[in-house]
Every structure is written in structure tokens, then in C-alpha cells.
Structure 1
Amino acid sequence: MDIAGEIKRTFKEGSVLTRLIYLNIGVFLVLKIVGVFFYLAGQDFQLLQWLAVPSVTEVLVQRPWTPISYMFLHTGFIHLLFNMLGLFWFGQLFLYHFEGNKLLSVYLLGGIVGAAFYILAYNLFPVFNSVYGLLLGASASLFAILVAIAVYDPNREIHLFFIGRFPLKYVAAFYLLLSVIGISSTNPGGNIAHLGGAFWGWFYISQLRKGKDLGAGLATFLNKAGTYLLGLFKPKSRMKVSYKKPPRDDKEYNRQKNVQQDEINRILDKIGKSGYDSLTKQEKEILFKQGKG
């Protein structure tokens, strides 16, 4: 089985949700493999620090890509596993009501707003004055999707393992409560980012009900950018198509027919003297076309 080919096919033909999950897993594997080489070389692996969101604004200005790159980063397998399971479950519910472009915009913009909450909190609240933090993971984006679908379809019941069935609004409220409580724990930055993502999910649906799709512009831009990039890497056809002009009158027509017949006669003479294998590729094509006519 061609595993690489199958992965490429499912990524190309799959939904936006499939591609988001593949991107998260792919980034995780690439960073882990690169980290092995750094370890064997006895060097510190600093790439994560260049992709995660720093809490210090002076550093953030030097790394403006991090509010996007961080939402595809996971340091541990368990962190990745739970985020991807949540993304799959809640992403499926989201796609039940909306198309993939909306899921992509909620994921990206929810992650960006989550990063904004994190940066503001670390620069406003005195408890973080002497703290240098790094934010990474897809959790803020996941919260945006969860809250968005919970606001849109609050009474939809989902099954929780070992617990039973609960309306989606209670599941979202439970996770939000855990995030609020968790701010004073070992992961304050991550929990604050969760709240930022949740805010975007609520705000997005509230505006969508008013007829305003706040993510439409981003989705259009990404689609155009994707089409442009694919065009750059798509191999160009080397085939040249030529068109023969029709004869202008009977005299011209007869002249063209005579030229063609002379060429056929020359080729037949060549076959009689040297055999068919002596013909060039072009001569064989001329003979083949004449036989079809």
C-alpha cells in the first residue's frame, strides 16, 4: 500500500476539517523529527520558540507570524491527541450546519483572537509582570468552534463517554468554567487564550445571524492564495497546438493536395527501397493520418 500516496489523496480530496487535522499532525511530526537531529548534534532546539506566541510585545514584533503558526504547534502527543479528537468531534458538528470555508475562518480567527487575549492579559495584569510565556496549541481555535456551534445549536445532544447525553450548551459551559478556574493554575496563558477563542465563536455566530459573515473575506483570500500557489507548482504542459489555415480557393486546395500526395509518394518509395523501419517518426505519423483519412 502506498501510504504517502493515500495521505496525499485524502488531504487533496478531503474536507477542510481533514486538512486541518493533517496539518496539525504533520507539523508535530516534522518538528519532532527535526528535534531528533538537533539532539544528536548536541544542540538546543529553538524552533518552537520562533513559532509560539511570546508574551512580551517587543519579542512579538520581531515574530509577527506567531499568532498564526502557534495554533498548529503541539509539544506532546497527549496534547495533540486530545486537541485533534476535540477538533474532529466539534468540527463534524460544525460542518453539519455550515460549509468548510466557515470552519476554516472560525479556526484561524478564533486562534488569532485567543492569542490577542493572551498577549493583552500578560501585559495588563500585574501577576504576569515578571513572567515570560509562550503560547502554543490549537485549543483556542477548538474553543471557537465549540462555542460557535453551541450558540448556533445549543440543544443538540452529544454523547459523553461514561456520563451520558448532554445538550451542547452545557458541554461548552462546562469547558468554559474549567478554563476560568484554570487561570490560577499552572497554565494561565492557555486558559486565557481559550476564553479568547470562545469569545470569537460567540461573536461570529451573533454576527452571522445578522447576515454578516466576518470570516468571508479571509476565506476568499485563502482560496485565491491557494489557487495561485498550486498554479506555481503545477507542471506546465509542453504540448503545442497548431492550427492549419483552410485553403482560400480551389486552386490553393489542389496545390495542398498535390503537395501531400507528393509526400506520400516519397514515403512509399522509401518503404519500397529500405523498408518500413527506415521511416522517421514524423513520416510514420503522416502515413498513419493518411490511412485514417
Structure 2
Amino acid sequence: MSIVQDIRTAFSRRDNALNQLLLINVLVFVFLVLVKAILWLSGFQGYFGNVLRQFVLPSDLPSLVRHPWTVLSYAFTHEGFFHILFNLLNLYWFGALVREYLGDRRLVSLYILGGLVGGLVFVLAFNLLPTLRPYAVAGTPLLGASAAVTAIVMGAATLLPEYTFSLILVGPVRIKYIAAFTILISVIAINQGNPGGGIAHIGGAILGYFFIKQLQRGRDLGRPVQAVGDWVGRLVTGRPNLRVTHRSRPAEPAAKATGPRKPAQEEIDLILDKISRSGYESLSKEEKQKLFKASQQ
């Protein structure tokens, strides 16, 4: 099977959101690397800046008005190898956790909203704060998936603060401390040469926290993203909207009309006992879903 066919297969699956996000980042990175190499070999390396400008988020408002799509494209754009490597590793580790517990659609929503909010905070800070105005005048851009990935890290930490990762040379660390360290690094970056990145990370972290808190209260902030994604999917595939008609039938019993059954307190107590004995990782997918439903009561 060819590489192109593998890519098509990856995007044709509906339950493959994490791999699709990873793949989009890799494809954009490879495209820019190839373009840069071709321009350098042909002696037109000076034009690479014009190409890159179509992907990165500008801090000055006139450029942003001319390139409005960059409010999202920047979150899939990397130049340095280690920049994309660390972002994709974090996306894979924490994204797998969010996907397992909340599903593919909410993982994508968290990534997209984290990127949008991070970019918005970046633009506002550079244009409203006097200390950062010189960066906006100079046209300092923002690129990288860090804000979107930080939203996923914070979302995972808000959802499962006691979940433990085993880090190389460190050992087991609870995810809430990983998130706190990520925020600390972002704050340090603000006055250590990368104010745009640090501010965008904090914006993404704030979104990740509120996304999960609102979800636990029964409000899904990602529904607009999902609606746009469904519309784009229908546009690309050419599939029409499905219309469902209902035939008259006897009324359902009242117990069925109340929606999915919420777990009883006895079930939750058993799940919590299991966590205290064996840790959160020992729970099955069904037990995790029951625990989440209980948090919405």
C-alpha cells in the first residue's frame, strides 16, 4: 500500500481523530521543509518567508486582516524538528487520554478551541499591552501547536487530576503536577525571549480548564466546532443532510423516556474503591464513563 493510500485511509476513518491531528501537523511540516529545500536549491530562498507567511499568525492587525485563516493554520505549523517533536509527543500522550474518556469529537474541539483562544490572547496582548506593542509593530508571528496542545494537557489534568504518568528519569507523576509545571514554563517564557508563545500557552490552558468544567456541568463548548466540522465533511464528501422521519408508534414507558441511566451511588463507590486500590488506569472504559456521568449530576 502506498503512502498516499495510507494517508487516505487514516482520514477516511471516523474514529481516528488523534492520528489525524498528528498527521496534519506532520504533513504541513514536511510540505514546508520540501518547499524550503526546493527554493534554496533554485536560488530563491528569499521567497520562503512569503510562503511561511501564509501559515503563521501575525501579531499586527493589518496583516491578520489579509490572512484571516492563520488564526487556525498557525496551530498546525512548525519549522524546527524538536519543536514539532515535543508538541506531537505531548499531543499523543495527553490526547490519547482525552480521546479515551471523552471521544474523538471532543478531542478535536479541545484542540481547535485551544488554538483559537491561544491565538486570540496572543493578538490582543501584543496590540493592547504597551510592553508588547513593539513586537506587534515588528510583525512578530506565532506558530506551533503548543497552545492547542496545552489546552489538551490542562483539559486532561482538569478531568483526571490524579491520573499518573511514568516519566523517564523521574518516575510516576500525577498529571495535575505536569499541568502546573507546563503553566510555570509558559510564564517563564514570557520574559525569557518568547512572550508570544508563553501568552498563547496560557490562553490555551485557560480554555482547556473551562472546557472541562463546562462539560461537567452539561454544556459542551465544542458543539460549534463539531457543527462546522460536520458541514465541511458533507461539503467534501458530497453527502446530503440525512432527514429522519418517525412513524407513529405506542408511547415508550416513562423509564425509557428519561434518557441514559445515570450510575447509582453504589456503583460509584465501587469504582472509587477500585481507584484507591489499583489506580485510575485499572478502570475499564465503561467505568470511566460512569464516573464522568456521575460528575455531571
TM-score range, shorter chain: 0.7 to 0.9
**Selected match of 1:214 from 199, 208, 221:** 221
After superposing the two structures, state which structure 1 stretch, 200-209 or 37-46, moved more.
Answer: 37-46
* Residue 69 (structure 1) aligned with residue 76 (structure 2): no
Aligned counterpart, 1:36: 37
Letter in 2 for 1:157: T
Q: Aligned-pair RMSD on alpha carbons?
A: 1.4
- Equivalent residue, structure 2, for 1:82: 86
Match of residue 100 from structure 1: 104
Letter in structure 1 aligned against 2:82: I
Range with bigger deviation, 43-52 or 169-178: 43-52
Task: Quote how far apart the aligned CAs of 1:227 are.
Answer: 2.4
Write the deviation string for residues 13-54 of structure 1: whole angstroms up to 9, x where unpaired.
361000000000001111111222222232221211222111
How many residue pairs are counted as aligned between the two chains? 232
Contact 1:27–1:72 (8 Å) recurs in 2: yes
Residue 200 in 1 paired to residue 200 in 2?
Answer: no
Counterpart in the other structure of 1:11: 11
Inter-partner Cα distance in structure 2 for 1:3 and 1:51: 24
Q: What is the correspondence of 1:108-119 to structure 2 with a 5 Å cutoff?
A: 108-119=112-123
Matches within 5 A, 1:243-258: none
3-state SS, counterpart of residue 115 of structure 2: helix
Task: Write the distance in 2 (CA, Å) between the matches of 1:51 and 1:23.
Answer: 13
C-alpha distance in 2, partners of 1:105/1:53?
20
Scaled by the length of structure 1, the TM-score of the pair is 0.76
Q: 1:187 to 1:57 in 2, by over 3 A?
A: same
Q: CA deviation at 1:82?
A: 0.9
1:1-293 → structure 2 map (5 Å cutoff): 2-13=2-13, 15-43=16-44, 44=46, 45=48, 46-131=50-135, 132=138, 133-231=140-238
- Secondary structure (helix, strand or coil) at the match of 1:154 reads coil
- 3-state DSSP class of the match of 1:54? coil
State the secondary structure of the residue aligned to 1:7: helix
1:116-164 CA-partner distances (Å, limit 9, x unpaired)? 1111111122222222210000000000001011001111111111101
Q: Displacement, 1:59?
A: 1.4
Alpha-carbon distance in 2 for matches of 1:23, 1:32: 14
Alignment gaps of 5+ in structure 1: 233-293
Among the aligned pairs, what percent are the same residue?
A: 41
Paired residue type of 1:212: R
Say which SS state the counterpart of residue 126 (structure 1) adopts. coil
Contact kept, 8 Å, 1:179 with 1:195, in 2: the verdict is yes
TM-score (norm. length: structure 2) = 0.75
Which AA in structure 1 matches 2:187? V
Deviates further, 169-178 or 124-133: 124-133
The change in CA–CA distance for 1:90 and 1:40 in structure 2 (over 3 A counts) is: same
- Is the 2:112–2:225 contact (alpha carbons within 8 Å) kept by the matching residues of 1? no
SS of the residue 1:162 aligns to: coil
**Whole-Å Cα distance in 2 between the matches of residues 3 and 64 of structure 1?**
32
Structure 1 counterpart SS, 2:220: coil
Paired residue for 2:286? none
4+ aligned runs moved over 6 Å, structure 1: none
Contact 2:147 2:203 in 1 (8 A): yes
The answer to whether the Cα contact below 8 Å between 1:11 and 1:22 also exists between their aligned partners in 2 is no
Unpaired segments ≥5 residues, structure 2: 240-297
